[in-house]
Amino acid sequence: MFISLLPLKKYRFAGVLLGLFLASNVMAQNCQSYRAKYHCPVDKRFQLHLSFDDGVGSVTPQILDVLKRERIPATFFILGNKVDCQPYRNSCSQGNQQKCQSLKRCQQRRQTLKRIKREGHLIGSHSYQHHRHSQLSPAELHRTIKRSKQILQPFFTTTPAPFRLPYGDGWFNQKKAPQVIRALTQQGFTHIGWEMSGFDWNKKNQVGTKILDNVMKQMCSGRNGTVLLHDGVFENEHEGRVFTAKHLAEWIPVLRCVADFVPLQHFNKKLKPLR
Ligand SMILES: [Zn+2]
């Protein structure tokens, strides 16, 4: 029995090898055409880190599924008010049924937040509310950063903890508004900007391959670093950036043609593991 099965096994193995060879050949040819399409240097490879803002959103689990399958480390910049369930708990206990539904959704978002950490991604703060921080009074600025820290502290895994300012406001214009970065530093954060953006927040880009095109064009023009995408919508407590979550899996093989996915620490050496 064993002897008669052996040749069959051999053929099957050869078949698998041939299949893998053909698949990698097709991918290599595709990669050549993508390099040509985006005017990428022929042999250059880039380093890329994916980051997602404005979550936790309803689509964050979908994004986590893709990252897990593809073994890609990412950073999620969380809005503190999306995972602060206490206000809903108070209203729910007073009998407000709508708030009870909101509480349930908030608790689900906290479960997702735990999953982000469990699956080895970095968690950073996107502040407590999506304000333009350079326009806040000193007291408000201090309060919103501190409140996000209180909520997210159990989920941080580095020191300093990463922080990304909403709209980049206080980072782009730090010469004009130095108080914002100063306040972050005082509270133990380091600001993480971005080198590339998918501009996926803009509805005009949520069609075809525009978001992928944006990232590929920026990268192939010679940039390494962190790319800004979104898994949440700051105006609404439970919506996600549906388009990005839906198409991320299609973009990854194209990005992989020219880039390796690296952890944030690859670019930010001062992020040390929290002990
Ligand atoms: Zn944002």
Position 29 confidence tier, pLDDT thresholds 50, 70, 90: confident
Position 106 confidence tier, pLDDT thresholds 50, 70, 90: very high
- Mean pLDDT over 34-39 rounds to 96
| Å from CA of 7 to ligand 1 middle | 59
Q: Is residue 247 located within the same domain as residue 117?
A: yes
Q: Is residue 124 located within the same domain as residue 230?
A: yes
Q: Is residue 250 located within the same domain as residue 114?
A: yes
| Å from CA of 230 to ligand 1 middle | 8
* Rounded Cα–Cα distance for residues 8 and 174 (Å): 68
| Å from CA of 26 to ligand 1 middle | 38
pLDDT in tens, 243-265: 999 999 999 999 999 999 999 99
For a pLDDT cut of 70, what percent of the chain falls above it?
91
| Å from CA of 167 to ligand 1 middle | 6
| Å from CA of 254 to ligand 1 middle | 26
Q: Is residue 148 located within the same domain as residue 130?
A: yes
More confident residue, 117 or 242: 117
Q: Is residue 134 located within the same domain as residue 221?
A: yes
User: Does position 164 have pLDDT exceeding 60, yes or no?
Assistant: yes
CATH of the domain at 72: 3.20.20.370
Do residues 231 and 54 touch, judged by C-beta distance below 8 A?
yes
| Å from CA of 182 to ligand 1 middle | 20
pLDDT in the model for residue 43: 86
Give the chain's domain count.
2
pLDDT in the model for residue 23: 66
Q: Is residue 64 located within the same domain as residue 11?
A: no
- Mean pLDDT over 221-243 rounds to 86
| Å from CA of 130 to ligand 1 middle | 6
Q: Is residue 218 located within the same domain as residue 237?
A: yes
Which of 90, 53, 50, 42 has the alpha carbon at shortest distance from 251? 50
Q: Is residue 73 located within the same domain as residue 10?
A: no
| Å from CA of 96 to ligand 1 middle | 29
Q: Is residue 14 located within the same domain as residue 116?
A: no
Helix axes 2-37, 242-258, angle to 10 degrees: 100
Q: Is residue 232 located within the same domain as residue 109?
A: yes
pLDDT in tens, 199-222: 999 999 999 999 999 999 999 999
Q: Is residue 119 located within the same domain as residue 218?
A: yes
Position 97 confidence tier, pLDDT thresholds 50, 70, 90: confident
| Å from CA of 163 to ligand 1 middle | 11
Q: Is residue 72 located within the same domain as residue 141?
A: yes
| Å from CA of 111 to ligand 1 middle | 21
| pTM of the predicted model as reported, rounded to 2 decimal places | 0.90
* Rounded Cα–Cα distance for residues 177 and 105 (Å): 36
| Å from CA of 274 to ligand 1 middle | 25
pLDDT in the model for residue 262: 98
User: Does position 146 have pLDDT exceeding 70, yes or no?
Assistant: yes
Q: Pick the range with the lowest mean pLDDT from 3-17, 123-137, 157-171, 239-253.
A: 3-17
Range of the domain at 53: 42-273
| Strands 158-159 vs 272-273: parallel, antiparallel or unpaired | antiparallel
- Mean pLDDT over 85-101 rounds to 89
